[in-house]
């Protein structure tokens, strides 16, 4: 599914990041849950190793690298902050994805991380989880909900966020050290 370019000889990676926002809760019926055994729980005091399992497994093919680069204490300080909410979706008792809502900025909520485990992509769970996360983020009524995605994310990520009601407001281009070349993310064949 991943359409990432091969690592470049110079070890760099071009990154185009799109920032999107909503100024009010969307006026729509939530996407219906797929017809299967699902459970959605807020992970309270999530162990750092379980968070890393979700983050690394979901994000590896999309080159999520930032949280791989911080130590357990720094990561624990973020994910255990009372204003950071992590919701894990289970399908048939198995972790299928997660959504992380960051409420640390007054009046704002960032959908900081959102994704599905590779085995669950394409089964209708993403739109369900996204709508659920959006509805949850709007309680108790922030003035803004925002998210960002990049050109190395799922090929339909930007379109999915826009269909859900997010509107792009900024785009940045930069070149970073390729996390596959630096060893932050393993190169898999």
CATH of residue 92: 3.40.630.30
Give a yes or no: residue 145 inside a domain.
yes
Whether cis (ω within 30° of 0) applies to the bond prior to 140 is yes
Whether 188 has a pLDDT exceeding 80, the answer reads no
Tell me which of 4 and 100 has the higher pLDDT: 100
Intra-chain end-to-end CA distance of the chain, in Å: 13
Would you state the pLDDT for residue 73? 98
Number of domains in the chain: 1
pLDDT digits (tens, 9 = 90+) for 39-75: 999 999 999 999 999 999 999 999 999 999 999 999 9
Domain assignment present for 166:
yes
Query: Which domain does 173 fall in, by range?
Result: 12-26+35-182
Q: What is the pLDDT of residues 151-187, one digit of tens each?
A: 999 999 999 999 999 999 999 999 999 999 999 998 7
Which pTM does this prediction carry?
0.94
Ramachandran region, residue 141 (left: φ > 0; alpha: ψ -120 to 50; beta: rest): left
Rounded Cα distance, 58 and 53, in Å: 8
The answer on pLDDT for 140 being more than 90 is: no
pLDDT in tens, 80-97: 999 999 999 999 999 999
User: Is 3 inside any structural domain?
Assistant: no
pLDDT of 148 over the 60 cut:
yes
Least confident of 19-23, 29-33, 35-39: 29-33
Classify residue 3 by its DSSP letter: -
Contact between 96 and 116 under an 8 Å Cβ cutoff? The reply is yes
Q: CB-based contacts of 112: which residues, under 8 Å, 6+ apart?
A: 84, 100, 101, 102
């Amino acid at each position: 599914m991943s359409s990432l370019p091969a690592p470049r000889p110079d070890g760099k990676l071009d990154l185009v990041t799109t920032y999107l926002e909503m100024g009010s809760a969307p006026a729509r019926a939530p996407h219906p849950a797929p017809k299967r055994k699902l459970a959605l729980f807020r992970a309270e005091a999530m162990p750092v190793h379980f968070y890393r399992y979700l983050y690394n497994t979901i994000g590896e093919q999309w080159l999520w690298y930032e949280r791989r680069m911080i130590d357990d204490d720094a990561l624990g300080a973020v994910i255990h902050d009372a204003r950071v909410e992590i919701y894990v979706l289970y399908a048939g008792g198995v972790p299928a994805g997660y959504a992380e809502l960051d409420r640390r900025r007054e009046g704002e909520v960032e959908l900081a991380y959102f994704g599905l485990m590779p085995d669950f992509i394409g089964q209708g769970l993403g739109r369900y989880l996204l709508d659920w996360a959006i509805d949850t983020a709007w309680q108790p009524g922030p003035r803004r909900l925002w998210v960002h995605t990049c050109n190395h994310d799922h090929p339909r990520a930007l379109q999915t966020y826009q269909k859900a009601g997010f509107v792009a407001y900024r785009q940045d281009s930069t070149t970073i050290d390729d996390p596959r070349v630096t060893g932050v993310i393993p190169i898999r064949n």
